[in-house]
Structure 1
Amino acid sequence: MLSIFKKRKAIELKSPVKGRAIEIKDVPDEVFASGMLGNGIAIDPVEGIVYSPCDCEIVNMFPTKHAIGVKTNEGLEILIHIGIDTVEMKGEGFNSFVNIGDKVKAGDKLISFDLELVKSRAKSPITPMVITNMDFVESIEQYYGDCDASKTVLKAFLK
């Protein structure tokens, strides 16, 4: 018997940082909160390590190491942005463990950052993770609450 329902491909994204997952609309930055860069989730971090949310390739590393772009095998593009207005820190307190072109697995360490320095120098330590090519996505589901690199915080259902 043929099913009339299309089986949707879902990509699960783990939390890129340990902390508390919140709605993207609650990020204290209009560019993220409005969804201008894409839809997703944000984490209020409790430690200064960014982990890969999935098996992917590093496609962008900002020179200041405050943000990183990754791409899944399926073509989903994800931006992880550590804190708000952290570009103003000019890389101080950030250390990268990966380079553009590297293939990484979910849970691999990507970047470390001095959380206390971010809290004292940036607008906010809240770390958005957004899908930047939402035209590729039919819908998403988010999880809110306590999370770490083993917790799925976002599921993207592909078109």
Structure 2
Amino acid sequence: MDGNRLEIGDVAPDFELPDADGNIVRLKDLGRVLIYVYPAAMTPGCTTETCDFNAAAPDFDTAGMRIVGLSPDSPEKLAKFRDKYGIEFPLLSDESKETLTAYGAFGEKKNYGKTVMGVIRSTFVVEEDGTLSFARYNVRAKGHVAMVAGLLDVDLSDTAAGE
């Protein structure tokens, strides 16, 4: 079930994906970036996680990391999600699931005891040289931002993320 999971030190798979406005975003143009993968915009867990990352974005920025969300949602759905919740960082669309698969974030997973194919909630940090310094799979939405911040030594003193 682990498929092609990435590990720290691996070269992050390159991508060119549309954001919520249809603009192409390239991994190589992002610098040091935290990419979090979520299954579907507008669902309770994904909304909680995205809003927590949005609240914590200034703290991650201070720590030298941009945040980018990645899901298989269409750019149109992502635009509605962004606008409804005031998300201030890019939300990227991977409708083909090619990038999700390359990151090991799409594949077999357990859902209510059954094995299904789907998006595996994951988080990665890609350094400026293109290598991974952080890779976590099967994370929980609630409290995830605070956990990641703690592991990456990001001070969330100014936000309520993960509370």
Same fold (TM over 0.5): no
Select the structure that is richer in strand.
Answer: 1
TM-score normalised to structure 1 length: 0.36
Q: Which has the larger radius of gyration?
A: 1
Select the structure that is richer in helix.
Answer: 2
